[in-house]
Amino acid sequence: MSAFSPAGLLALSGALLGLGLFGILTRRNFILLLISVEIAINAAVLNFVYFAAFSGSSSALSGQAIAVVLIGLAATEVAVGLAIVLGLNRLRGSINVAEASALRR
């Protein structure tokens, strides 16, 4: 049984989310984009774990369960993302998302 301030934890996940968003918005390399998304997802997972840990009730374990699912989903997302990277690379010879602007039309 340990105890410490949850404020720091929340601030940490907020900061990590902000970093992830920053990456998503500014990086043009698809792999960096994926990495940014991972950072943001991890910030969210952290929140689930915090609240599971600080809550006394037994149902709080579902917080950890969701964290497990999220980690799995994030791994899946990376796999799909890499598949996209490969496809994009083959199609355009580059993984710069600014060049993949087919969504415009």
Partner 1 sequence: MSVLTPLLAYAGLVPLLTFLSFVLVGFLGNRLKGLEWGGWIAVLLSGAAMVVGTLVAVAEMLSPGQYTDVSYTWLTVPGSPGTFPNGVSLVIGFLVDPLSALMLLVVTIVGFLVMLYSIGYMHHDHGLPRYYAELSLFLTAMTGLVLADNLLEFFLFWELVGVCSYFLIGFYYEKPSAASAAKEAFLVTRVGDVLFLLGIFIYFATYATAGGGAGWAASGFKFANGTQPFLGPLVGTNTPLLTVAGLMILGGAAGKSAQFPLHVWLPDAMEGPTTVSALIHAATMVAAGVYLLAVTSVFLGFTPDDQFAIVAIGGITCFFAATMAVVNTDIKRVVAYSTISQLGYMVLAVGAGVTMVGMYHLFTHAFFKALLFLAAGSVIHAVGTQDLFKMGGLRRTMPLTAGAFLVGALSLSGIFPFAGFFSKDDILGSVFQAAQAHPAYWPFFLLALATVFLTSYYIFRAWFLAFGGPAPRDASLPTAHEGPWVMRVPLIVLSGFAIAAGFFVFDPAFASLLPGAGVPPTYTATDLGLSAVSLGLAGSGIALSYTLWGNGRIAAAPTGIAAQMRTVLLNRYYFKVGYDWIGRRAVYTVARSADFVERYVIDGTIRGFEKLFSRGSDLLRRAQTGIVSDYAGYVVAGLVGVLLLILYVGPAIVQSMGGG
Partner 2 sequence: MILEELAFLVIAAVAIVTAANALLVRELVHTILWIALFFVDLAALYFLLAAPFLGVLELGVYAGAVTILLLFGVMVTRKRIFAREAVTGIGPAPLLLAGLVLAVVVVGAEELPSGEGTVHAYAPALLSQALFNADGPWLLLLGLAMLSALAGAIYLVREGRE
10 interacts with partner 1 by CB under 8 A? no
Which residues partner with 29 through β-bridges? Answer: 96
- Of residues 27 through 56, those in contact with partner 1 by CB under 8 A are 27-28, 33
Whether residue 38 contacts residue 58, with contact meaning beta carbons closer than 8 Å, is answered with no
Whole-number Å distance between alpha carbons of 51 and 70 = 15
88 interacts with partner 1 by CB under 8 A? no
- Of residues 12 through 31, those in contact with partner 2 by CB under 8 A are 12, 14-16, 18-23, 25-29, 31
Q: How far is CA 10 from the centre of its chain?
A: 16
Q: Which of 12, 24 has the CB closer to partner 1?
A: 24
Whole-number Å distance between alpha carbons of 24 and 8 = 24
Q: Which of 8, 105 has the CB closer to partner 2?
A: 8
Which residues here bind partner 1, judged by CB under 8 A?
A: 21, 24-28, 33, 97-98, 100-105
